Homo-oligomer: A and B are copies of this chain.
Amino acid sequence: MARPRAKGLSRRRKGDVATDRAVYDTIRRAMLMGRLLPGTKLAEPALARVLKVSRERVRKALHRLVHEGWLEAVPNRGTFVPALTVEEVREIYDVRTMLETAIVSRLCAGHGPPEAQRLKAHVGEERIAVRNDDRGRLFGLSGEFHVLLAELCGNEQLSKLLRGLLTRSTMHFSQAAPERFHNCAGPHDHADIVKAILARDTKKAAKLMLDHLLGLAEWQSAWRPPSTPVGIEEAFRGLSAVKRPA
């Protein structure tokens, strides 16, 4: 039929899944960088204006983030950055304890040379980060350690589940200024756990993981995130959805 287009521009690409990912990643990155504090409202028009995308894209990304537990949606009100209660943090670490003690037990029973190699490599990287006092890298590695343990079990469902739990429990860490991240006990605990796994000492490994998570939960529960909301424009300053400055 070749009908002439009514409005002017609208150069529309095909199933542009790349832009969707970019918007989603940008918002998530802003949260990981600690720029979005609990209580902040993510208004759709403001986000669309700042990220230079249409409102529908923002809406879709927000819905996805809500489904994944990063944000909270109130009907007819908007989407907000959630404030995890100490009870929620305790519950999340409780579930993590159940899963991760089982994981280290599993790894003690059945791991081979390649798994041992990856564990030792990760501990080495953490040690380097500590030596260089690279807080940002250490922050990322500390979380990835737990994901690595899950992945070494060779269970994709388990990895996905633990990854979701980690994002929720590290949200607090992110909401604190991540450049101030300092966890001297973390890398040392990780090294001990790996040592126990390599020695196939199941009881010791499980106990170390239990104590490690208990310590993390206690330290995290003691800290309360600030509650002064910040504007959207300044929160996303320097971040862009269309071009990755990476």
A56 to chain B, nearest CB (A): 12
User: Dominant SS at the A interface?
Assistant: helix
A101 partner residues in chain B, CB cutoff 8 A: 102
A155 to chain B, nearest CB (A): 5
The yes or no answer to A230 lying at the interface (CB within 8 A) is: no
The yes or no answer to A158 lying at the interface (CB within 8 A) is: yes
The yes or no answer to A222 lying at the interface (CB within 8 A) is: no
A102 partner residues in chain B, CB cutoff 8 A: 98, 101-102
Per a CB cutoff under 8 Å, which of B14, B15, B64, B99 touches A99?
Answer: B99
Question: Once bound together, how far apart are the Cα atoms of A64 and B66, in whole Å?
Answer: 11
Q: Closest B-chain residue to A88, C-beta based?
A: B157
Quick one: which of A84-110 are within 8 Å of B by CB?
88, 91-92, 94-95, 98-99, 101-103
A interface residue count range (under 10 / 10 to 19 / 20 to 34 / 35 or more): 20 to 34
Say whether, besides A63-B63, A67-B67, A75 and B15 are in contact (CB < 8 Å): yes
Per a CB cutoff under 8 Å, which of B17, B75, B88, B155 touches A95?
Answer: B155
Contact in complex: B91, A157 (CB < 8 Å): yes
Question: Once bound together, how far apart are the Cα atoms of A67 and B60, in whole Å?
Answer: 12
26 A-B residue pairings within 8 Å (CB atoms): A14-B76, A15-B76, A17-B75, A64-B67, A67-B67, A88-B157, A91-B155, A91-B156, A91-B157, A91-B158, A92-B157, A94-B155, A94-B157, A94-B158, A95-B99, A95-B155, A95-B157, A95-B158, A98-B102, A98-B103, A98-B158, A99-B99, A101-B102, A157-B165, A161-B161, A161-B165
